[in-house]
Amino acid sequence: MHRTNLTNTRTILAFLYFRTNPSNFLVLFPNFKIRMNRLFFLFAFLIVLSLSAQNQTRYERLSTASGLSQSSVYKVIQDKKGFLWFATGDGLNRYDGHNFKIYRNDPSDPKTLSGSEIFTVAEDDLGNLWVGTRNSGLNKIELATGKIIRFTKGPSGQDLSNANIPSILNIGKGKMGVAVLGLGYLVYDIRTNQLIPAESEWNNPIVKEVARLFKHSSGTVWMGTRTGYLVSQLNAHSFIPYQFGANTYRVRALFETTNGDILVGTDGKGIYRFTPKNQQFKVVFYQSSDPLSRQNIVTSLAKDALQNLWIGTDNGVYKLNGENFNSYTNIPSNPDPELGLSSNSIMCLFTDANQNTWVGTWEAGLNISFFQKPRFAVLRYKPNTLQGLLSNKVSTLLTDGDKGIWVGSNVGLSYFNHKSGKVSHYLQSASTNKLNSTETYDVNFIYPSVEGGVWIGLWGKGINLFTKERQLKDFPFKPGVREANFNTLEPFKTEFLLGTVGMGWSHSIRRRNNTECLILN
């Protein structure tokens, strides 16, 4: 059985490698190696980031640049073999975690899909896919052989080649239910590929407008129409319609709650909660102060790995605390994947077998919230902003008790505050984040000073003292010469030995009466 491997989808920014000797502790970043003097420096740094990570989510993204055939994603499913399938505005995409395989219409080849704008897709009991298109009818892909079947005729000989198929449902027992907009509800035998007229309905005017299909845990098939009805199917030709509002509010999503109620997501009226026992509707998600709010356009509903309900809207995702509609947070659009999604216009939500939640958008590709138990967060460089690190090439770290962490990189010195989770920058190179500094600060090491500051070894600038008053004090290698490259500092009796590049252990800082001064040997 194939399981989609999504590891390579993530951007791996840092790899950690531990050596047993603390004085030779190594931290490896891509194409970059640095030495650490104390094992606990890194442990303390990662522990605090682990705590910060518990409230952080990064939304990885898949776009046309990643191989996605088109950037509007209407539906996401996962088949029995673990492959993910994306219904897009230009083709059906199969994704294995690394590569895409695209199914499209070829006008010159009748053995391809009847259309390329894919509205929906569903898997039957035999592992084959049923594919609904916009204005191009219904298809079936027999994955074992690659054969594609087009369904062109309706129950009374109607032409289905131009039909809109907004929803397909595996109703079990070898049957698939298909919503054909403007025609009705059709049931097919998955083995014979034949329509079952006795179980289909194309005469009921309400059923003709079915746009969403949903199977309740009780086994009942429910339907949502584009004319404001929730419909329960009693048997083959018996339906009970429930109208919940004005007939302009199309049903966009159906979802079952923990207690068996049905959530009805609408196109402009938020979410209604329907209780089958008393057949009552209740509005549970609606911005009444602004009836035209994009929040009221609810396109999709799903639960994540922690059983929190996600609501996809035209104003981003709203993530509930469980099913509590009084406690939620909005996940908006943001260019930064650590701060939001690629678009506010959400088309679909899906949580896969590995408990990762996928968010399909209108014209902005896919977003993935990878589920994992809280472990480590990663502070990254963010171009044209000071919110992250100055560089992903972190050369050295120094703990400041339980207050924070000093971070040295190839372009400067920063400080990560444990409590606030913010990064402050004190020394920055000119090329970093479009800052105007005329200096270059390539930090080799950081070591605490007894006077409250830190000693810093800078490439090409020798050793410097960054005082507690946040001033940089220079100690030239020789009078007028700053080119010494100090890359480590070690305490030795009453001295600190300084390691250089190419000159061995040649200089020291001597302690005198609880103060420090640089003395050349």
On the 0-12 / 13-18 / 19+ scale of CB atoms within 10 A, 99 is exposed
Q: Note the pLDDT tens digit of each residue in 102-129.
A: 999 999 999 999 999 999 999 999 999 9
Contact 211, 230 (CB under 8 A): no
What's the maximum distance between 2 C-alpha atoms anywhere in the chain?
101
Contact 37, 23 (CB under 8 A): yes
Q: Is the pLDDT of residue 22 over 50?
A: no
Q: Is the pLDDT of residue 436 over 90?
A: no
Q: Is the pLDDT of residue 67 over 50?
A: yes
Q: In what order do the strands lie in the sheet with 184-189?
A: 167-172, 175-180, 184-189
50-54, 175-179, 267-271: least confidently modelled range: 50-54
158-172, 179-193, 470-484: least confidently modelled range: 470-484
Residue ranges of the domains in the chain?
7-56+376-520
Q: Note the pLDDT tens digit of each residue in 360-386.
A: 999 999 999 988 755 556 777 777 666
Higher-pLDDT residue of 490, 268: 268
Cβ contacts of 31 within 8 Å, gap of 6 or more: none
pLDDT band at residue 39 under the 50/70/90 scheme: very low
pLDDT score at 385: 67
Average pLDDT over residues 117-146: 97
Q: Note the pLDDT tens digit of each residue in 280-328.
A: 999 999 999 999 999 999 999 999 999 999 999 999 999 999 999 999 9
Q: What does the radius of gyration of the chain's CA atoms come to, in whole angstroms?
A: 30
pLDDT band at residue 504 under the 50/70/90 scheme: low
Look at the block and give the residue holding tokens 């952080």: 56
